[in-house]
Structure 1
Amino acid sequence: MSTPPNALPVVTRSAGFEGVGRALGRAVISQFRGPMLMALLLPFAVALIGAIVLIWLFWTPLSEWLQITLFQWSVVNQLDTTLMALGLASLKLWLIPVAATLILLPLSGILGLVTAAVFIMPLVLRHLSERDYPDVRREGGNALVASVWNALWVTVVFVLGWFFTLPLWLLPPLAVVLPIFWWAFAFTRMLRLDALADHASPQERKILQARHNKGFWALGTICALINLLPPAWFLLPVLSALMFSHFGLEALRRLRSETQP
């Protein structure tokens, strides 16, 4: 049986990290265009207001709960005794504020990312469609519903994963690896779908996500590493949306060029 000329190609191999550097460069250029500079304000404002509200509502009860919970563990009490014997500050002076910050601050950050995914991504895609990818047709459907549902489940997994792996931060390597992993997960799984939902059909999304899985995760990891730098928090929600959009739309353009006679 012959293959129809407009049939989508079968995914036979991964594209690896092809296109990651190109998407990053294009995103930086796009970030300094007027509409994208204005788009920075919304996710930053949501994250800032979210941080203030979370601290106001939950700092005291969370600190009290951590005080009771953490110091029930014999290992924590032994470590506290050892530090005091060495003339160092007691864990009770700094462990609770640090733990409370590590719980509440990521919550405000994920709110900013959700805002970027649900509200800023459509603006980004509209801007890039008109300016950089006018030849890429919109063949997606129910993009808003898919985006909201995707944002909800990714947020739940991120919050639960972050919270339940916090005790592992006591192991030095994991204190660095785990935050990078969870933020890479959040950026990749939240923005990968949003970058393709408007323009790619379900079949195209399936092919692109399989073919470019490593590329999407590379972008998510880059975003997670940038996220370690507090001054970058203002830029990152929109910049990450631009990175994933450039990567996804260029990949979709190339995929469709393979099916053209």
Structure 2
Amino acid sequence: MVGLQQVFKSFGMALVGTMHPRMLWLSLRPFLIVSVLWGCLIWLTWTPALEALSVFLTTSIFTSWIQEGLVWAGFDNARAWIAPLFFVMLIIPLITISLLVFIAFSTVPAIVKIASRNSQFHDLECKQGGGFFGSLIYSLWSAMICLALVMLTLPVWWVPPLVAVLPPLLWGWLTMRLMSYDVLAKHASSEERDLLLEKYRWPLLCMGIASGMLGAVPTFFWATSALALVLFPIVSFIALWIYSLIFIFAALWFSYFLLDALKQLREEELDKALTVESRVVDMELPFHG
């Protein structure tokens, strides 16, 4: 039975697999693409975005108290860095979610293919329970839900303890949703996928949160360090690659766990079918005597 032991076993297999050159390349590809796209977008919008945010933070009754409170607390130059800090806080979730969705949509199938080459999964039948459009719709819908949750909770990200708690929970939930669907899309039927996600909901959520906690390290530094604000382009570039590597590891972790769970499920169903067939034969034998 797939349980805690299998969670740790798949964790170890994923940890070793992540160090493979092929996996490192798979982490670089989405990182480079997303970095270029967001780099161009930030470069084009940095100045007008800061000007708009500065006006909004100064004039809005909902945010003007932040600057006044910082000045009252002794941060006389708060007006100089509050707008860039707000911009960074707003852009971090968008970059992270876009990277995770891109990896789930474009890279996870390749990772599942590599994981399925393991000897224990050679005879695992592919039932194609998910497809291209199903994955796209599921990924976008999950990302929209996560983004809405981020926007609702973003104001309390300023509270130091919560900046290390909320991101792991949000990234963990999104990681669980995206990885679980895409890992099983090729090998499991839709019925098998629903059954596995229901049966192993809590282990999968814990795996997602654990992955989110790993991803919270760059988030925490990104959101709380003055150095990250000054060197935002460089720091964001490094942090984004760390995110990418963590998400690749999570994809491997979910792949090994769910493929093994699927194998166990089919073995259990086969045993049940053989048991029922054996009982039917035993019941019919006396009538053929």
- Common fold by TM > 0.5: yes
Q: Does 1:35 align with 2:45?
A: no
Larger RCO, structure (CA 8 Å, separation 6 or more): 1
The one-letter code matched in structure 2 to 1:192 is S
Q: Alpha-carbon deviation of 1:78?
A: 4.3
Equivalences, count: 248
Query: Which residue of 2 is the match for residue 252 of structure 1?
Result: 262
Percent identity over the alignment is 29
Report which stretch shifted further, 34-43 or 237-246.
34-43
Query: Which residue of 2 is the match for residue 225 of structure 1?
Result: 213
Structure 1 gaps of 5+ residues are 1-14
How do residues 69-148 of structure 1 correspond to structure 2 at under 5 angstroms?
69-74=56-61, 76-132=63-119, 133-148=121-136
Q: Secondary structure at the match of 1:88?
A: coil
Query: Which residue of 2 is the match for residue 240 of structure 1?
Result: 250
1:84–1:90: 8 Å Cα contact kept in structure 2? yes
Structure 2 gaps of 5+ residues are 219-238, 272-289
Question: What do residues 151-191 of structure 1 show as CA deviations (whole Å, max 9, x unaligned)?
Answer: 11122222232223212324444333322222112211111
Q: Does 1:156 align with 2:166?
A: no
Looking at CA atoms only, which structure, 1 or 2, has the larger radius of gyration? 2
2:128–2:186: 8 Å Cα contact kept in structure 1? yes
CA distance in 2, matches of 1:175, 1:33: 32
How do residues 175-194 of structure 1 correspond to structure 2 at under 5 angstroms?
175-194=163-182
Flag the structure with higher helix content.
2
Q: Alpha-carbon deviation of 1:194?
A: 0.6
Task: Classify 1:67/1:219 alpha carbon distance in 2 versus 1 (closer, same or farther; 3 Å).
Answer: same
Query: Which residue of 2 is the match for residue 195 of structure 1?
Result: 183
Q: What root-mean-square deviation, in Å, do the aligned CA atoms of Structure 1 and Structure 2 show? A: 2.4
CA distance in 1, matches of 2:43, 2:66: 30
Question: What do residues 194-222 of structure 1 show as CA deviations (whole Å, max 9, x unaligned)?
Answer: 11111111111111001100111111111
Question: What do residues 38-65 of structure 1 show as CA deviations (whole Å, max 9, x unaligned)?
Answer: 2122111123113302312332333233
